[in-house]
Amino acid sequence: MTVKPLDAPTLPPDVLLRVERLTMRFGGLVAVDDVSFDVRRGEITALIGPNGAGKTTVFNCITGFYKPTVGRLTLDRDGRPWLLERLRDHQISREAGVARTFQNIRLFGGMTALENLLVAQHAPLMKASGMTVLGVLGVGGFGKAERAAIEKARRWLERIGLADRADDPAADLPYGDQRRLEIARAMCTDPVLLCLDEPAAGLNPRESADLNALLRSIRSEDGAAVLLIEHDMSVVMEISDHVVVLDYGRLICDGAPKSVREDPRVIAAYLGVEDEEVSAVEREIEETAS
């Protein structure tokens, strides 16, 4: 049991995760440099930026794969604040309620689609078994918990349009279906925050539209906040409520998709102009604003 940190700040009610002054150094390389932003409840937040901007490193800090060099990551789950930088990765997923997917699909290819969704519910099932053979044999609450797990898995297969492929090995599914199955697997852990690393990579336009619909339904029906890294700007602009832009490890702007798309700093970063030119563009913006 993890004890609630006494020094965790109280977040505004609409903020689920507050990232403050996050910095991650690898030797002499500053991969993430003093980055701060909020992820609000019930919103889809996109983390964008050119290759090497530090997006995956931010994800790895939030999900506990890396311990940040500096910074505070506060997540409020049902009124209980957690300081993620102090937790191990399994505590971040189980106690704070953060689930993630990776750039490369990490399903159990030899297991069926249904089994993949049951594996995700391993922790509550083990708890219901009381960690004993008697529990697994159906004495106590295990049988009920197992039925609930199967029901939840089937419900998710329905939602992602794979009910008729429940018994097929995950590896036999088309790529887009595997992507959605991976998201369903993460959702079977009932997260408050779902982190997706390039979910639209390699999808065709129809699969991409299915993904957008799924993410929108997660936002509206499950109430989970989504934080996604995405290079596909059509996906970002279509489904995000809030966009955070990184470049060379620094946050260069964040806001609504429309304002971010028109921001000259973002355009400059994506066009790959030289540092001096970006500074010139920044000066221009400041002059225009004043």
Ligand X SMILES: Nc1ncnc2c1ncn2[C@@H]1O[C@H](COP(=O)(O)OP(=O)(O)OP(=O)(O)O)[C@@H](O)[C@H]1O
- ∠ CA 241-160-186, nearest 5°, is 70
Q: Which of 11, 45, 49, 128 binds ligand X (CB under 6 A)?
A: 49
Residues 275, 152: Cα–Cα separation, whole Å? 50
Comparing CB distances to ligand X, the nearer of 26 and 175 is 26
- ∠ CA 18-20-24, nearest 5°, is 120
CB atoms under 10 Å from CB of 74, counted, come to: 21
Comparing CB distances to ligand X, the nearer of 3 and 29 is 29
CB atoms under 10 Å from CB of 144, counted, come to: 11
Residues 162, 47: Cα–Cα separation, whole Å? 29
**Binding footprint of ligand X, residue count (CB under 6 A):** 11
Q: Which of 57, 63, 101, 208 binds ligand X (CB under 6 A)?
A: 57
> Which region among 25-33, 87-95, 202-210, 276-284 touches ligand X (by CB under 6 A)?
25-33
29 near ligand X, judged by CB under 6 A? yes
Comparing CB distances to ligand X, the nearer of 55 and 100 is 55
The residue whose two tokens read 């997923």 is: 93
Q: Which of 16, 46, 53, 87 binds ligand X (CB under 6 A)?
A: 53
Answer for the pair 73, 280: CB distance below 8 angstroms, yes or no. Answer: no
Which residue, 57, 6, 62, is CA-closest to 38?
62
Residues 82, 7: Cα–Cα separation, whole Å? 10
> Which region among 51-59, 78-86, 175-183, 208-216 touches ligand X (by CB under 6 A)?
51-59
> Which region among 15-23, 47-55, 251-259, 276-284 touches ligand X (by CB under 6 A)?
47-55
Comparing CB distances to ligand X, the nearer of 51 and 104 is 51
CB of 7 to ligand X, least distance (A): 28
- Look at residue 256 and give its three-state secondary structure: coil
Q: Which of 16, 19, 37, 55 binds ligand X (CB under 6 A)?
A: 55
Answer for the pair 125, 107: CB distance below 8 angstroms, yes or no. Answer: no
31 near ligand X, judged by CB under 6 A? yes
51 near ligand X, judged by CB under 6 A? yes
Q: Which residues bind ligand X (CB under 6 A)?
A: 26, 29, 31, 49, 51-57
